[in-house]
Amino acid sequence: MRSLRLILTGLVLTGTVFVLTALLVPQAQNPAAAAVTVFCSVWFVVALLNATSGINKGHPPRLEAGLAVLVFAAPTAAALALWSEGGLEIDSARTPWILTTGVALWAVILQLVAVRNSQGTVPNTQNMTVTVFLPLWLLLMLVNMLVGLRLGYTLTEELSVLSLNFGVPAAVAAIARACTRPRTAGRNTARFE
């Protein structure tokens, strides 16, 4: 089951990386090649960590090696197929792409943390996800702001876009985290008793 979750997560991550590189890397610098390089490097490490985790839990090494190849190969094949098609070109309506990609990246990180933290509780998984996602997303959105400044937008315009682009996926992550916190006794009691 964890291998299937990882394969599906890898496919979503493939799309996420390709969209982000199409948005953040100038076309002259071949964003598809950058996307494949970033994705394959990250996904290889994920596949190895997954196999190592399975072996540490007592699963047969041959089984884990086979699953590692499968976990790595399926999303990597999708990335290579996108690369052979020239990647993605996004010419307009960047904000909806960024917002969707932000939520997708949060979901990918959530799944990776959940697979890695299989013995942990849901609130711990959400806390770890937010801890990883928010700084990463902020960094990516600062790069996006710099791209906008290089394209001639003013700092004031870019700061407002930054707040939206960072804020919406961050709010999704924060709301999901808040929804998984354990309820304490007396928290939901009536005010007038």
HEC assignment per residue over 160-188: HHHHHHHHHHHHHHHHHHHHCCCCCCCCC
Which residues, given as ranges, of the chain have pLDDT below 70? Answer: 28, 119-120, 182-193
Domain count, the chain: 2
- Residue 35 near residue 59, CB atoms below 8 Å: no
Calpha distance 145→160 (Å, rounded): 10
| pLDDT given at position 123 | 78
Q: Would 193 be classed as within a structural domain?
A: no
| pLDDT given at position 192 | 37
Same domain, 69 and 124: no
| pLDDT given at position 193 | 37
| pLDDT given at position 191 | 39
Comparing C-alpha atoms, which of 78, 75, 87 is closest to residue 35?
A: 87
- What are the φ/ψ torsions at residue 29 (nearest 5 degrees)? -100, 15
Q: Would 192 be classed as within a structural domain?
A: no
Same domain, 87 and 114: no
| pLDDT given at position 151 | 87
DSSP annotation of 25: S
| pLDDT given at position 187 | 52
| pLDDT given at position 143 | 94
| pLDDT given at position 120 | 67
Q: Would 159 be classed as within a structural domain?
A: yes
